[in-house]
Structures are given as C-alpha cells and as structure tokens.
Amino acid sequence: MYYNNKYERTGTLFEGKFKSEHAKDDRYLKYLFSYIHLNPMKLVIPNWKKEGIKNKLRVLKFLEHYPFSSYQDYLGYNRKQRKAINFKVFPNYFSMKSLFEDELFDWLNYKQARPV
C-alpha cells in the first residue's frame, strides 16, 4: 500500500497475486519438494523444462553449492543454516541421501513434450 500510495498507482507490485493450493496427497507434496529444490536451476538454465538439460552434472554441482536452498541440508551437509529446518515435520520420503538425489534426478531428466 505504501508504494502504491507514494507513486499513485494501484494493483499488485509483483507478477500477480499469490496463489496457494493445499497439498492433498503425498504425490503432490513430493512434487512440491522437488520443485522447490530445483527452482534455482532457472539461474543456470532458464528454459530447462522446455529444452531439457545437456549437462546434468553441471546442474547438480550448481545445486550442491547454491547457498540459498536446503538442498545441501537434505544431502546431509552440516551447515549452520541446517538449524532452521525441522526435518521431523516433513514426511520421511527420502530417508536416504540416494533417494533424495534419485527423486530430483528424475525431474532433471524430465523433458516437456513439445506441441505438434
């Protein structure tokens, strides 16, 4: 409101209104989990969902060193930011590091079908 009043404008400041959807089942929750952890990839490959990924190891290295994500924490890295995560609240889908990596790697291999 302050910004809109100051610059005599109306509407939202960002792209659009926030939309939320209840995670009704485990499948959708796993999707959200992967989406959140793979979201920083847009910084490296903006169109990865449409064009696919040529160098998956490069992307995994980027994610592994990206400091503003809990990706490292789920890999078992001992960082001070890890204290902010309550691992008990999230269902134990990825009890082993390899399951977490496998889930995300499946999404990295995903390539959206192009319309004909």
State the chain's mean pLDDT as an integer.
Answer: 80
pLDDT band at 116 (very low <50, low <70, confident <90, very high): very low
pLDDT at residue number 110? 66
CA-CA distances (angstroms) from residue 29 to 14, 35, 86, 91?
26, 10, 16, 9
Burial category of 78 from C-beta neighbours within 10 Å (exposed 0-12, middle 13-18, buried 19 and up): exposed
- pLDDT tens per residue across span 61-85: 898 899 999 888 888 888 998 888 8
Hey, where are the domains in the chain?
A: 24-108
In angstroms, rounded to a whole number, what is the distance separating the alpha carbons of residues 60 and 41? 9
- pLDDT tens per residue across span 9-63: 888 777 666 677 888 888 888 888 888 888 898 888 888 878 888 888 888 889 8
Amino acid at 17: K
pLDDT at residue number 45? 86
pLDDT at residue number 16? 64
